[in-house]
A = this chain, B = another copy of it.
């Protein structure tokens, strides 16, 4: 028997994936990525210096860092802008994840003394904003590096391979791929997996806040994740070959 999801998808099916380049023309490169109704602006900027701690520790090469934010009108109930030092713990956690995921496939030393900023601003939130952010940012980053090579700023592209990220979860006892908001709210287990083009893991974050999961369920969810990553990768490659 087939799983019937609200939007008619099967358990192992991604939502429609769109990578729309050029949404922020002042950025070095930008992509508006959609995973169904989830939409994120991913933009890449470059600065010609490195963070203070790199200078202090005399680390060679460059740095890549990410910032993630939800625009106030991205959710059904307006989300206050963070300010006055009030920390948005979830956003901090997500932007650290995005940064680590991308640094894993970039040769930072080859960047030279530069900082790459990856901004991910959620325009519409319907579950999976962090996985859409990483997947979209990987495309924007690849575009940015290609441009830097084309413009003679870099001798070769420091990005070793693409990464894609996908969410999987256990909802009502069933493993589902790419959860939308209503599924995510009802999930017993929520897992985000970042994978390289070669199918290796970059990040794996599984969490059962109101439940736990067995090794068998883990295996099942990881299988779904690999299948989802292949779907995303195809869409990323298509966007990059246009």
Contacts and interface: CB of A to CB of B under 8 A. Distances in A.
Interface of A: 23-27, 30, 37, 41, 43-45, 47, 67, 69, 71-76, 78, 81-87, 89-90, 92-93, 95-96, 100, 103-104, 117, 119, 121, 123-125, 191, 196, 198-215, 218, 222
Pairs A-B, 9 closest by C-beta atoms: A85-B85, A200-B212, A43-B73, A27-B73, A45-B78, A204-B206, A84-B85, A24-B73, A92-B92
A76 to B, nearest CB: 6
Contact of A212 (B74, B201, B205): B201
A113 to B, nearest CB: 16
Contacts of A96: 89-90, 93
A75 B124 CA distance: 23
A125 to B, nearest CB: 7
8 contacts: A26-B125, A71-B119, A84-B84, A103-B209, A104-B208, A200-B213, A201-B218, A204-B206
A117 B215 CA distance: 31
B74 A26 contact: yes
Given A24-B74, A83-B83, A200-B214, 16 more contacts: A23-B123, A26-B76, A30-B73, A41-B123, A43-B71, A44-B73, A67-B72, A73-B119, A83-B85, A85-B87, A104-B209, A200-B213, A201-B208, A201-B218, A202-B208, A202-B212
Given A78-B45, A93-B92, A124 B209 contact: no
> Oligomeric state, in number of copies?
6
Nearest to A195: B212
B213 A201 contact: yes
Contacts of A83: 82-83, 85
Contacts of A117: 72, 78
A87 B92 contact: yes
A240 to B, nearest CB: 19
A100 B87 CA distance: 18
A54 to B, nearest CB: 15
Nearest to A191: B204
Contacts of A73: 24, 26-27, 30, 43-45, 119
A72 B68 CA distance: 11
B222 A215 contact: yes
Contact of A205 (B71, B76, B204): B204
